[in-house]
């Protein structure tokens, strides 16, 4: 069994990006600038956005954090998105999800200029992904693919089961792994809450990707001997022994599943850090694509 160290891999990518920034600086070229919009005070969202800003600082990117109260109107948020679309200094930006219920996430996503959509959530970028055209790949699925690539994990012809069909993780990663690319060429099954015989389905997977948001959902009997297990889940569960009062839990019952696997990602330290690294890679590309 080999643990896939996402934290370390993300660090390698961040070093590569820092070098790219340093050589741009030396050549007198523009430094990549990422902006993030955060609405409200959700603890998880604040942590993730904070981690993105910190990553920018370490790599040498410029970053701008724009915060709004929960009470912001949809129109005000759309105005900010349009402002960032036009701002020549900003190369890419994200709107952290989830948004408050009175704001239509789809409307906001559609308003983002696809050329600055470093999250890869805009339909134009998702369409490009389906058609194998260049565009921005969603950060978490791209991070998963990068882990499979850097760990030389064979995917061609493998049975892959993805559990969870969200537009930001499950659905796009299932498409990416089914494409005629390397990594890719999997035979993919996309499972969700209506799936029948889920346990049996998972137990036949060579590659199992869990993006559900239910702590410890994937048990030992759902994992095939020698499987590759990728755990996307990051749920905060109360834990009095931690200073923060909570701990992060994946969707996989890691302690009981790990020994059966050929490869497995831990939580924390697996997919999460790779999401941030992919976002940074997308931001550098955004700037280059826009001819800067
Ligand atoms: N590490 C990272 O970088 C990231 C981590 N995450 C984490 O990944 C997890 C999933 O988030 P997200 O992708 O946004 O998904 P959502 O929370 O939007 O959706 C969950 C998906 O899981 C499915 N599901 C729920 N219960 C079951 C069940 N009992 N059996 C089978 N399928 C089920 C749902 O099915 P249905 O569609 O039928 O309702 C749905 O498709 C969360 O813990 C989130 O925090 C998310 C993004 C990035
Ligand atoms: N527009 C938008 N883009 C996103 O990319 C996006 C989003 N909205 N909404 C929420 C999800 C969740 N997400 C994570 C990012 C990093 C970690 C991460 O780095 N986790 C660390 C631990 C961090 C900690 O200690 O809390 C780890 O797993 O090791 C986790 C989750 C991005 N998301």
At residue 291 the predicted structure's pLDDT band, cuts being 50, 70 and 90, is confident
Determine if the peptide bond prior to 150 is cis (ω within 30°): no
Name the helix (H) or strand (E) containing 35.
strand 33-39
Q: What distance lies between CA 259 and its chain's CA centroid? A: 26
Looking up tokens 């959902």 gives 217
Report how far residue 10's alpha carbon sits from residue 197's, in angstroms, rounded to the nearest whole number.
Answer: 35
Is there a domain that residue 4 lies in?
no
The predicted pLDDT at position 290 comes to: 83
CATH number for the domain spanning 34: value is 3.40.50.10860
- Alpha helical stretches, state H, 36-195: 43-59, 74-86, 105-111, 123-130, 139-150, 170-178
Residues with CB under 6 A from ligand 2: 47-48, 51, 94-97, 119, 139, 234, 248, 267-269, 272-273, 275-276
pLDDT in tens, 248-283: 999 999 999 999 999 999 999 999 999 999 999 999
pLDDT in tens, 124-178: 999 999 999 999 999 999 999 999 999 999 999 999 999 999 999 999 999 999 9
The dihedral through the CA atoms of 252, 256, 262, 264 has a sign that is positive
CATH number for the domain spanning 184: value is 3.40.50.720
Average pLDDT across the chain, whole number: 97
CA of 275 to the centre of ligand 2 (A): 7
pLDDT in tens, 43-92: 989 999 999 999 999 999 999 999 999 999 999 999 999 999 999 999 99
183 and 106 part of one domain: no
Atom 40 (ligand 1) nearest CA: 164
**Ligand in closest contact with the CA of 163:** 1
Atom 21 (ligand 1) nearest CA: 164
Domain span at 180: 139-272
Is there a domain that residue 204 lies in?
yes
pLDDT in tens, 224-252: 999 999 999 999 999 999 999 999 999 99
Whether residue 113 is predicted with pLDDT greater than 90 in this model: the reply is: yes
150 and 251 part of one domain: yes
- In sequence order, what DSSP letters do the residues of 205-229 get, joined into one string? -SEEEE-S--TT-B-GGGS-TT-EE
Is there a domain that residue 88 lies in?
yes
Which residues fall within 8 angstroms of residue 50, CB to CB, at 6 or more apart? none
> What is the mean pLDDT of the segment spanning 12-20?
97
Is there a domain that residue 234 lies in?
yes
End-to-end CA distance of the chain: 44
């Amino acid at each position: 069994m080999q643990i896939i160290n996402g934290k370390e891999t993300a660090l390698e990518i961040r070093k590569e990006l820092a070098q790219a920034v340093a050589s741009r600086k030396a050549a007198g070229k523009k430094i990549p600038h990422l902006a993030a919009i955060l609405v409200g005070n959700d603890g998880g969202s604040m942590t993730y956005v904070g981690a993105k800003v910190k990553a920018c600082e370490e790599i040498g990117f410029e970053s701008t954090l724009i915060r709004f109260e929960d009470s912001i109107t949809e129109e005000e948020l759309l105005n900010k998105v349009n402002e960032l679309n036009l701002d020549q200094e900003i190369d890419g930006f994200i709107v952290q999800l989830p948004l408050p219920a009175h704001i239509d996430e789809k409307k906001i996503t559609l308003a983002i200029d696809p050329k600055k959509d470093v999250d890869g959530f805009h339909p134009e970028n998702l369409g490009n992904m389906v058609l194998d055209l260049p565009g921005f790949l969603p950060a978490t699925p791209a991070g998963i693919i990068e882990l499979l690539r850097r760990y030389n994990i064979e995917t061609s012809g493998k049975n892959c089961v993805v559990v969870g069909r969200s537009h930001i993780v499950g659905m796009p990663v299932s498409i990416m792994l089914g494409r005629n690319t390397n990594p890719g060429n999997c035979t993919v099954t996309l499972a969700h809450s209506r799936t029948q015989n889920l346990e049996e389905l998972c137990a036949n997977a060579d590659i199992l990707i869990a993006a559900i948001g239910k702590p410890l959902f994937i048990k030992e009997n759902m994992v095939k001997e020698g499987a590759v297990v990728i755990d996307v889940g990051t749920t905060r569960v109360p834990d009095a022994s931690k200073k923060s009062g909570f701990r992060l839990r994946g969707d996989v019952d890691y302690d009981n599943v790990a020994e059966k696997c050929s490869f497995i990602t831990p939580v924390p330290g697996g997919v999460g850090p790779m999401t941030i690294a992919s976002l940074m890679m997308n931001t550098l590309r955004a700037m280059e694509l826009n001819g800067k």
